Amino acid sequence: MEIWCRHEIFDEDFCIVEENPPGFLRIFKAENGNFLYKSDDEEVLLQEGRIYVCPTHTAYSIKNISGNKCKCLVIQRLARNYLLDKLIDLGYEEIYMLTITLIEKLFEKENFRGVMHGVRIIIEKCVGDGLILKVHETFQNILATMQKYACKNISVSEFAKMFGYSNEHFIRIFTKEIKTTPYQYLLNIKMGKAREFLYSGRSVRDVASLTGYSDTKSFNKAFKTRYGITASEYKKNYNTQGKFL
C-alpha cells in the first residue's frame, strides 16, 4: 500500500517494534499521553501534540508510557527515494500542524489523493530543511541490492565492482550521498538481521553464519562493538526479560 493513515487507540504498555528497517516514513502524533521512542542511539520522550517523523532505515520502538489508553495519529508512506536514520521532531511548527489537520479532515472524507498530497507537502518541506535525505534513483537500486545481499559476505569492493565503480570512487560517492560509509551501512543491516534471528530463537552459531560471518568469534566481536554485549548475553536478556535492549 502506497500510504496508510489512521487514528489508533493504544492500550497501556502497547509497544510498536520495528526491528528491521521498515522502508517507509512514519509520521506520529500523540493526541494525548506520552510515548517513549527508543533506538540503538537514542531515547526520546514523544510529547503530546507534537509531530514526529520516524526513521526509514533504523530499528526502533515506540511504547505507551502514560499508564492508560492513548489516542495517536499514525501516517505511513513508502519511503522509496527518501532516507532518514534519526527521529526528527517537527514540534508545533505551524505549517506542519496545519497540514496534519488538513490530512485528518481529508482522511475522514476518504480523500486519499488529498492525504497523499498533504504528506508530500510535509516530506518536501523536511527535505528542503535538510531533515530528510532525498536519494537519487541510482542509489535506490544500490541500496536495495545491498540490503538484499548484505548477509552474503560480499565485500564493499565487490559491491563497487558490481555497480561499475572503482572501490575508492564508490566509497566516496556513497558516503557523500547516504551520509555513512558503505561498510557501516552493510554492518547496520547485518546487526539488525542478527537481532531478529536471535529473537526468533536461532543459536549464536547459526546467526553468525546467516549474517555472513565465517566464525562466531568475529560475529560476537562485531555484535559486542555495536551493542555493548555479546550475542549470547543479548539472547539471554531477551529470553529472561522478554524485551529487547
pLDDT, tens only, 145-199: 888 888 888 899 999 998 888 999 999 988 888 878 999 889 888 888 888 888 7
- Determine the CATH number of domain 137-241: 1.10.10.60
Q: Please, which residues bridge with residue 180 across strands?
A: none
Burial 74-103 (b: 16+ CB within 10 A, else e): bbbbebbebbbbebeebeeeeebbebbeeb
Rounded distance, CA 116 to CA 75, Å?
10
Report d(CA 35, CA 241) in Å as an integer.
Answer: 21
pLDDT at position 239, please?
A: 53
pLDDT at residue 245, as a whole number: 41
Find the mean pLDDT for residues 5-22: 74
Pick the CATH number of 3-133 from 2.60.120.10, 3.40.630.30, 3.30.70.1150, 3.30.1600.10: 2.60.120.10
Count of positions (residues) in the chain: 245
Please report, for residues 29, 100, 161, 230, 234, the alpha-carbon distance to residue 237 in angstroms, rounded to integers and kept in the order given: 31, 40, 41, 11, 5
Domain ranges of the chain: 3-133, 137-241
Residue 89 confidence (pLDDT) above 90: yes
